[in-house]
Structure 1
């Protein structure tokens, strides 16, 4: 899926990462941020990865979100090839529950930063990418501020409900 003039590139090493990465896609859609989605494997399509990473900024991309499981080389390799900020999403794995992915992404050498979110938390990656874009887009910044207000109200509503029901009834309705 590629939109006209995408600002966020959402890439993943395999189609099996898509169920995780769809939350980043949903954030882009919720905030009306043009984005593109691509399967780019650091190991199976290295030339494609290099081309994407080197050219993304020339195509108008401002932030790259890269999801990867297992060895999780995609975020770091892309970060080493692009001047853009890269946000790594460690994807949960069967063997080590994504801890291997997390360690691979956060253990970058000095000079090649990769912002990293919690294992499987592509939603936060999407939100971080939107917030990065919002630093130079007042309309988008207003949407982020409204999102935060909505989060606050959601918690206040839950507290109100807890106060009215009591904890046992609240739990029973969860």
Structure 2
């Protein structure tokens, strides 16, 4: 079975990353979600990547704050797409995690999304778009979702707009 793997560096990331899982669920895309740290549990992280790939993980989403090495560790252990979600876990407001996640050496790509909540949701959407490359049903769901979002903007505007 194909699925998306969500790996968080800490339990404190769950309150934000739940929106990632919820987004995948809304499109009926299966996922696994675990906590595994690049620093505190490196063997667990390495073993999980291998096991998840064997079970059918197609894309890994890595959420981590501060030094944020989790996405890079995942990238070093698989050729599957990695999406990094920088978390705001320090006095630097997530900028440290953003820089750590986005600054990967050549040949070890990590797609990096926004810090925090928007990044969590966008990581799910990016994973959905990748999966939709060879899944027509999922592609159609994404198109309908875009139409729905555009209609919501128009509806919200009609409630308050003033035009001359």
TM-score of Structure 1 vs Structure 2, range by shorter chain: over 0.9
| Residue 159 (structure 1) shift | 2.1
Deviation at 1:54, TM superposition (A): 3.1
Which residue of 143, 147, 150 corresponds with 2:148?
Answer: 150
- Displacement after TM superposition at 1:55 (Å): 3.6
> Does structure 2 conserve the Cα–Cα contact (< 8 Å) formed by 1:53 and 1:79?
no
Number of the residue aligned with 1:34 = 30
State which structure, 1 or 2, has the greater radius of gyration over its C-alpha atoms: 1
Q: Identify unmatched segments of 5+ residues in structure 2.
A: none
Asked if the contact 1:56/1:82 (under 8 Å) is kept, the reply is no
Match of 1:70 in 2: 66
Which aligned segments of 4 or more residues in structure 1 are displaced greater than 4 angstroms?
Answer: none
Contact 1:106 1:114 in 2 (8 A): yes
Q: Deviations over 1:68-119 (max 9, x none)?
A: 0011000011011111100000001231000000000000000000001000
CA contact (8 A) 2:65 2:90 kept: no
Q: State the secondary structure of the residue aligned to 1:36.
A: strand
- Provide the C-alpha distance between the structure 1 equivalents of 2:15 and 2:90, rounded to a whole number of angstroms: 15
Runs (5+) with no aligned partner, structure 1: 168-174
| Residue in structure 2 matching 1:58, options 54, 78, 89 | 54
TM-score by length of 2: 0.94
Alignment RMSD: 1.3
CA distance in 1, matches of 2:106, 2:144: 36
Number of aligned pairs?
Answer: 161
Q: Deviations over 1:33-81 (max 9, x none)?
A: 0111000111111011111223432210101111000110000110111
Q: TM-score, normalised by structure 1?
A: 0.88
